[in-house]
């Protein structure tokens, strides 16, 4: 099987997450809230998995471990190389993984921030490859 470019693959995850929210999210334009936590959670999980896929390709955190990788492992590896990216990943973890993925925050602005952070992380990582 042909290996895909990790940056393109991460962008594909972002596109899939966007498609989930646009097609199923039922945004209330008056309140700027999504109607169903399920799709916000799915979009947040998809965004975060795309970011992790790219971080694994750039920083090889998983290849150094025999146990489950934690966010601290990523932050340590990233912090040694790019402090600004480390801040983006920390904020992205909170927004995409916790607020969207776990909490299912319905607020459109929070979801938009998750997408913006995912794209910022992807853009920054693309420069490191």
Position 96 scores a pLDDT of 98
Phi and psi, residue 34, nearest 5°: -80, 150
On whether the CB atoms of residues 122 and 11 are closer than 8 A, the answer is: yes
| The CATH number fitting domain 6-128, selected from 1.10.1200.10, 1.20.120.330, 2.60.120.10, 3.90.1170.50 | 1.20.120.330
Lowest mean pLDDT among 34-43, 57-66, 112-121: 57-66
Buried b (16+ CB within 10 A) or exposed e, 82-119: beebbebbeebbebbbebbbeebbbebebbebbbebbe
pTM score, whole prediction: 0.93
Taking all residues of the chain, what is their mean pLDDT, rounded to a whole number? Answer: 94
| The pLDDT of residue 1 is above 60 | no
User: What CA–CA distance (Å, rounded) separates 47 from 107?
Assistant: 16
> For residue range 68-83, what is the model confidence (pLDDT) as tens digits?
889 999 999 999 999 9
Which sequence spans correspond to the domains of the chain? 6-128
| The pLDDT of residue 92 is above 60 | yes
Strand, coil or helix: 10: helix
Confidence label for 66 from pLDDT (cuts 50, 70 and 90): confident
* DSSP codes of every residue in 78-93: HHTT-HHHHHHHHHHI
Position 65 scores a pLDDT of 64
């Amino acid at each position: 099987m042909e290996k895909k470019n990790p940056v393109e693959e991460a962008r594909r995850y972002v596109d899939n997450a966007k498609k989930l929210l646009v097609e199923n999210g039922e945004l209330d334009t008056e309140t700027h809230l999504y109607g169903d936590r399920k799709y916000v959670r799915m979009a947040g999980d998809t965004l975060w998995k795309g970011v992790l896929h790219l971080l694994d390709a750039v920083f090889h955190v998983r290849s150094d471990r025999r146990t489950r990788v934690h966010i601290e492992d990523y932050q340590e590896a990233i912090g040694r190389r790019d402090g600004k990216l480390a801040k983006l990943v920390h904020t992205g973890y909170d927004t995409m993984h916790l607020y969207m993925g776990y909490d299912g925050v319905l607020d459109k602005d929070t979801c938009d921030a998750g997408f913006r952070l995912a794209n910022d992380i992807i853009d920054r990582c693309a420069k490191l490859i």
